[in-house]
Amino acid sequence: MADREPAQLPRHVAIVMDGNGRWALGRGKPRSFGHQAGSDALKRTIEAVMRRGIPILTVFAFSCENWRRPRAEVRKLLDLFLKALNKDVRELDEHGVRINFIGDRKVFNQTLRDGMAQAEQRTCGNTALQLNVAVNYSGRSDIVAAAQRIAAAAATGNLAAEDLTEQRLNQELTLAHLPPPDLFIRTGGEKRLSNFLLWQIAYSELYFCDVLWPDFGAEALEAALIDYASRERRFGGLSQIRVRSA
Ligand code: FPP
């Protein structure tokens, strides 16, 4: 474990948890074995994030594109979600985690939808960590849904074209009530955004690592935090050195 203290911590970390399948196949096991191990890695990571005092974590658990996977794998993933809802929510609640699901949940069966709603309700007063779990989520769909609501407001005369600002559009998007991610992590070696939080990560620091998600935990998180602390965030402005020499 690193003994350096990162100088600055992100308030909001977003993670694409990639590499479950390869982790399992590398062990001669079915991909679903990797998802189970991925679920354990998520628990470890939540603990590590809380220990570091980071208040917001958003994870990509199931994308709209994941329905293209073999039915057995999709079923295993949905079973894991249900198991987590039945088993892990109580523990998360006891530790002060507020759970929120983002994405289009209409496609899920009633049991899963009820489980999600109950988890949100049960934990809604918690403040130690805001955990957003993206299920059947797509960044583009999020933007399209926001645009549809804006268009409906315009059609009924409740919004003039010149009043459509970034802030106004942002209000219609998921996670509008939270600061955007400071740090975006993708495990598993691929350097892609995969349609996750496209609008919200406009100025996030991007961190890609080769660690396969089931191997992720406190140590890998610390490496990401140290890297983050070394970045200079300019949000389109100038670095402090350039400002002084301008
Ligand atoms: C990507 O790995 C991972 C997923 C599609 C699912 C993520 C799900 C979990 C971590 C399970 C736990 C979640 C909850 C909320 C209980 P991949 O299968 O694409 O891996 P590969 O790139 O090696 O094929």
Cα 219 to ligand 1 centre (Å): 20
Homologous superfamily, domain 12-136+181-233? Decaprenyl diphosphate synthase-like (3.40.1180.10)
At 86 the pLDDT is: 87
> Is 136 among the catalytic positions?
no
Q: Rounded to the nearest 10 degrees, what angle do helices 218-229 and 31-51 cross at?
A: 60
In whole angstroms, give the CA distance from residue 222 to residue 216.
10
Closest ligand 1 atom to Cα of 63 = 5
Summarised one tens digit per residue, pLDDT across range 107-138 is: 999 999 999 999 999 999 999 999 999 999 99
Residue 47's nearest CA partner among 97, 1, 12 is 97
pLDDT digit string, tens, across residues 156-185: 999 998 989 999 999 999 999 999 999 999
Residue 163 annotated to the active site: no
147-to-107, 151, 164 alpha-carbon distances in Å: 21, 6, 10
Give the pLDDT of residue 232: 82
* pLDDT under 70: residue ranges of the chain: 1-7, 240-246
Whole-model pTM: value is: 0.92
132 lines ligand 1 (CB under 6 A): no
Q: How is residue 195 annotated by DSSP?
A: T
Which token pair is 123? 């934990």
Distance CA 54, CA 241 (A): 29
Q: Are 46 and 54 in contact (CB under 8 A)?
A: no
Question: Quick one: which atom of ligand 1 is closest to the CA of 133?
Answer: 15
